[in-house]
Structure 1
Amino acid sequence: MWDAFTKKEILDQWWAPRPAISRTKFMDFKVGGRRFFAMVMPDGQERWMVQRYTSISPITNFKMTAAFADKDENVELLSSEWDFNFSEEDGITEVVIVIYNESLERMERMIELGFGEAMAVMYGNLDDLLAGQ
C-alpha cells in the first residue's frame, strides 16, 4: 500500500478521477522533494498540481503540501497540508489521511471543484488496481 502512494508509476495508474488520467512530469519522494503532475482529461485539457514532501517516516507516515499550479509549476491557489498514516494489522493495511487547508477560501474552492467526489472516484481506482494484482 505504501508504494501505491509513493511511487509515480503506481500513482499514475489511480491518482486522478476518471475519465482523467494522472501523468507525472517528475517526482522525487524525499523530504524537500516534490511531485509535479497533471490530471489530463480525454480532450487533452491539463490540471497541474505540485506536491511537496515535508516529512517521511518510511512505511508509516508521510506529509506533504499540495497546490494547483500552471504548466510551469507556478502555484495558483493556496496550498493544503496532507498527513498520510499507514498501519497494518492481521495483513490489512489502513490508510488515514488528514487534510488541513490554510484558509476557508481554499476549502470552499476545493468543495466547488468537487474534491470529495473526485477523491471517492480516485480511491475506487485504487481499489480496482489492487483487486487486479
Structure 2
Amino acid sequence: MNNIVFNTDLHHATIFVMKIFDAKGEEVWNYFTNSELLDSWWAPKPWKCETQKMNFENGGTWNYAMVSPENEKHFARIDYEEINPNRSIAWSDYFCDEKGIKNLEFPTTNWLIGFTGVEEGVKLTVNLHFASEKEMNAILEMGFEEGFKATLNQLEEILKK
C-alpha cells in the first residue's frame, strides 16, 4: 500500500494528510461524493458507515452514523461549504445526534480535501483545521490518526478491485 503522510502542527492546530492512489481522478472523487460508495469505506473496520441523508452540493449536508459491530451508533454531520468538481471539497464536520443537531461537547473540524492528478494516479491531500490545539488533541486522542489511515487504506483496497 502507498504510504500515508500524516503530519500534525500543534502551533497552528492543523493536520495534513496525503496519500497517492493508483486510480483515475474521477473514480476517487466519486468515492467522496456518492453516499453508497462512501458507506463502503468511510468507517474503520469492523465499524461501518451508514448514510442517513446526503445532499452533495454547496450548502448541502451529509448525515451519517458510524456503526459498531454491536450496532452502537455515533452520529456525525458534514456541512459542504465549497465544492469544485474533481478538484476540491471544503467541509466542516462534527458529532451530532440522530437528527443532525450538533453535540457541543466535541469540536468542529474544518476540512479542505484536494484531488490532484499525478503520474501515479491521484494525490489526495487533506488539510484539517481546528479552533485550538486542545480541540485538535481531543480528536487525536479519540484515535483519529489510526482510524483515518485505516479508512484510506480500505479505500485503496476497494480501488484496486
**TM-score bucket of the superposed structures, by smaller chain:** over 0.9
Structure 1 residues not aligned, in runs of 5+? none
TM superposition score normalised by structure 1: 0.95
Structure 2 residues not aligned, in runs of 5+? 1-27
1:126 corresponds in structure 2 to 155
2:111 to 82, 86, 102: 82
Alpha-carbon distance in 2 for matches of 1:36, 1:106: 22
1:23 corresponds in structure 2 to 50
2:69 corresponds in structure 1 to 42
List structure 1 segments (4+ residues) > 2 angstroms apart after TM superposition. Answer: none
Q: How many pairs align?
A: 132
Alpha-carbon distance in 2 for matches of 1:98, 1:70: 25
Give the counterpart letter for 2:53 in structure 1: F
Query: Deviations for 1:30-75, whole angstroms, at most 9, x for unmatched residues?
Result: 0000100001000010011100000011110110001011212121
Give the counterpart letter for 1:90 in structure 2: E
Q: What displacement does 1:109 show?
A: 1.2
TM superposition score normalised by structure 2: 0.79
The share of aligned pairs that are identical, in percent, is 27
Kindly indicate whether structure 1 or structure 2 has the higher relative contact order, using CA contacts under 8 Å at least 6 residues apart.
2
Give the counterpart letter for 1:30 in structure 2: E
Superposed CA RMSD in Å reads 1.1
Residues 58-97 of structure 1: pairs in structure 2 closer than 5 A? 58-76=85-103, 77-90=106-119, 92-97=121-126
Alpha-carbon distance in 1 for matches of 2:148, 2:91: 17
Query: 1:102 aligned to 2:131?
Result: yes
